[in-house]
Amino acid sequence: MSVLHDFFTVFLQPQLFLLVGLGTFAGVYVGAIPGLSVTMAVSILISFTFSWDVYPAISLMIGIYMGGVYGGSRTAILLNIPGAPSAIATAMDGYPMAKRGEAGTAIGVTTVMSFFGGLVGIAVLALAAPFVSDFALKFQPRDYMLLAVLGILLVGSLSSGSLIKGIFSGALGIGIGAVGMDPLTFTQRFTFDIPLLTQGISFIAVMIGMFGVSEALLQLHNIDLPAVRQKIDKIVPSFGTVKKHLPLSLQTSTIGVLIGALPGTGGDIAALMAYDHAKRVTKNPERKFGEGAIEGLVAPETANNAAVGGAFIPMMTLGIPGDAVTAIMIGALFIHGLNPGPMLMIDQPHMFWFIVGALVTANFFMLLFGLTGIKLFTKIVEIPRAFLIPLIMLLSIVGAYAVNNSITDVYWMLGFGVFGYFMRHYGYPLGPVILGVILSRLLDDNWRRAIISEREDLGRFFGGIFSSPLSTVLLITVVLIFVSQTPLWTKAKARLFKKEATE
Amino acid sequence: MKRFAFGAVSALVLAATGALAADYPAKEIQGIIQWGAGGSTDTVMRSVTPHAEEVLGGTVVMQNMTGGVGAIALNHVANQDADGYSLLMGAENPLLYKVMGLGEKDYTDFTPINLLARGTPVLVANPDAPFDDYAGLMKHIAENPGEVRFGATGPGGLPSVITAMIETVEGDLDVISVPYDGDGPALTALQGGAIDVMPAVLGAAIEGIRAGNMKVLAIIDNAKNEKLPEAPIVTDFNAAYDGFLPWGPFFGVFVKNGTPDDVVAKLSDAYAQAATNADFVELMDNRGFTMMNISGAEAQDFLTKWQQNTTWLLQDAGLTKASPEDFGIARPAK
- When divided into structural domains, chain A yields a total of 1
Whole-angstrom distance, CA of residue A252 vs CA of residue A240 = 19
pLDDT of residue A31: 86
State the CB neighbour count (10 A cutoff) for residue A192: 8
Residue A250 has pLDDT above 70, yes or no: yes
Same domain, B229 and B253: no
Question: How far apart, in whole angstroms, are the C-alpha atoms of residue A152 and residue B139?
Answer: 43
Query: Structural domain tally of chain B?
Result: 2
Q: For the segment A423-461, what is each residue's pLDDT rounded down to a tens digit?
A: 988 988 888 898 898 889 889 989 999 999 888 888 888
User: Which among B244, B271, B293 is the end of a domain?
Assistant: B244
Q: In whole angstroms, how far apart are CA B325 and each of A469, B99, B245, B331, B332?
A: 52, 9, 22, 8, 11
Closest CA in chain A for residue B283: A337
Model pLDDT, residue A204:
84
Domain co-membership, B215 together with B67: no
- In this predicted model, what pLDDT tens digit does every residue of A270-303 receive, in sequence order? 999 999 899 888 888 888 888 888 999 999 999 9
Residues of A in contact with B155 (CB under 8 A): 185-186
- Amino acid occupying residue A404: N
Q: Which residues in chain B have their CB less than 8 angstroms from residue A184's CB?
A: 154, 179-181
The verdict on residue A460 lying in a domain is: no
Residue A85 in this model has a pLDDT that exceeds 90: no
| Inside any domain, residue A484 | no
Question: pTM of this prediction?
Answer: 0.85
Domain boundary among B202, B227, B244: B244
Q: Rounded distance, CA B300 to CA B112, Å?
A: 7
- The pLDDT-based confidence of B224 (bands split at 50, 70, 90) is confident
Mean pLDDT of A473-480: 90
CATH at residue B37 = 3.40.190.150
How many angstroms separate the CA of residue B334 from the nearest CA in chain A?
31
Domain that holds residue B159: 121-244
A196 at B interface, C-beta within 8 A: no
CB-based burial of residue A494 (10 Å sphere; 0-12 exposed, 13-18 middle, 19+ buried)?
A: exposed
Is A453–B149 a contact, with Cβ atoms under 8 angstroms apart? yes
Q: A141 and B176 in contact by Cβ < 8 A?
A: no
Q: Is the residue at A362 inside a domain?
A: yes
User: Is residue A89 scored above 70 in pLDDT?
Assistant: yes
Q: Both B8 and B114 in a single domain?
A: yes
SS3 label, residue B294: strand
> Using CA atoms, how far apart are residues A255 and A35, in angstroms rounded to an integer?
26
Q: What is the pLDDT of residues A304-317, one digit of tens each?
A: 999 999 999 998 88
Using the CB atoms, write b or e for A65-89: b if 16+ within 10 Å.
Answer: bbbbbbbbbbbbbbbbbbbbbbbbb
Question: Which structural domain range is residue A192 located in?
Answer: 15-453
The model's pLDDT over A338-389, given as tens digits with 9 standing for 90+, comes to: 878 888 888 888 889 999 999 999 999 999 998 887 877 777 777 888 888 8
Same domain? For B257 and B237 the reply is: no
- Residue-level length of chain A: 503
CB distance A396 to A81 below 8 Å: yes
One domain, residues B107 and B175: no
Phi, psi of A298 (to 5 degrees): -60, -50
Q: Say if A352 falls within a structural domain.
A: yes
The model's pLDDT over B137-168, given as tens digits with 9 standing for 90+, comes to 999 999 999 889 999 887 778 888 999 899 88
Other beta carbons within 10 Å of B298: 13
CA distances for B206 relative to A462, B121, B200, angstroms: 35, 11, 10
d(CA A187, CA A192): 12
Q: Which residues numbered 64-123 in A keep a CB inside 8 Å of some CB on B?
A: none
- Work out the minimum CA distance from B150 to partner chain A, whole angstroms: 9
∠ CA B130-B171-B320, nearest 5°, is 110
Q: What is the DSSP string of B95-126?
A: GGHHHHTS-S--GGGEEEEEEEEE--EEEEE-
* B29–A contact, CB cutoff 8 A: no
CA distances from A9 to A3, A6, A120 (A): 10, 5, 21
Note whether B193 contacts A140, CB cutoff 8 Å.
yes
Last residue of a domain, one of B244, B259, B286: B244
Note whether B262 and B221 are same-domain residues. Answer: no
Cβ neighbors of B33 (< 8 A, separation 6 or more) are B41, B42, B45, B46, B62, B63, B64, B65, B73, B89, B90
Separation CA A339–CA A198 (nearest Å): 36
The Cα B132–Cα B122 span in angstroms is 14
Same domain, B237 and B126: yes
Phi and psi at residue A196, in whole multiples of 5°? Answer: -55, -35
CA distances for B250 relative to A65, A200, B197, B232, B284, angstroms: 32, 27, 22, 22, 12
**At A59, phi and psi to the nearest 5?**
-55, -50
- 3-class secondary-structure state, position A406: coil
DSSP B228: B
On whether residue B98 sits in a domain, the answer given is yes
In a domain, B265, yes or no: yes
Query: How many CB atoms are closer than 10 A to CB A478?
Result: 17
Average pLDDT of the residues in B205-219 = 90
Which pLDDT score, from 0 to 100, does residue B14 have? 47
A22 inside domain: yes
A320 contacts on B by Cβ (under 8 Å): 184, 188, 191
Are the C-beta atoms of A327 and B35 separated by less than 8 Å?
Answer: no
DSSP string, B75-102: HHHHTS-SSSSEEEEEESGGGGHHHHTS
Q: Do B176 and A319 make contact, defined as CB atoms within 8 angstroms?
A: no
pLDDT of residue B85 exceeding 70: yes
B88 with B146, same domain: the answer is: no
Does this complex have an ipTM over 0.85?
no
Nearest to B41 by CA among B202, B250, B227, B247: B250
Q: Is residue A347 part of a domain?
A: yes
Q: Does the structure show a pLDDT above 70 at B5? A: no
Q: Contact A328/B102, CB-based, under 8 Å?
A: no
* Residues A212-227 pLDDT 10s: 898 889 888 877 777 7
**3-state DSSP of A115-177:** HHHHHHHHHHHHHHHHHHHHHHHCCCHHHHHHHHHHHHCCHHHHCCCCHHHHHHHHHHHHHHH
B333 in any annotated domain? no
Are the beta carbons of A20 and A59 closer than 8 angstroms?
Answer: yes
Q: Is B154 on the interface with A (CB under 8 A)?
A: yes
Q: Mean pLDDT lowest for which of A81-95, A151-165, B303-317?
A: A151-165
Residues B80 and B128 in one domain: no
**Which residues does residue B125 pair with via DSSP β-bridges, in sequence order?**
B197, B215
The answer to whether residues B45 and B184 belong to one domain is no
In the predicted model, what is the mean pLDDT of residues B39-50?
Answer: 88
Same domain as B27, residue B86: yes
CA dihedral A321→A323→A329→A334, nearest 10 degrees, is: 30
Report the side by side order of strands in the sheet with B197-201.
B176-179, B149-152, B197-201, B121-125, B215-219
User: By three-state DSSP, how is residue A259 classified?
Assistant: helix
CATH of the domain at B136: 3.40.190.10
From CA A256, how far away is CA B253, in angstroms rounded? 41
Rounded to the nearest 10 degrees, the angle between the axes of helix A246-261 and helix A103-137 is 50
Q: B105-108: long-range contacts (C-beta < 8 A, 24 or more apart)?
A: B105/B71, B105/B74, B105/B75, B105/B78, B106/B74, B106/B307, B107/B252, B107/B254, B107/B303, B107/B307
Same domain flag for B221 and B291: no
Q: What is the pLDDT of residue B268?
A: 93
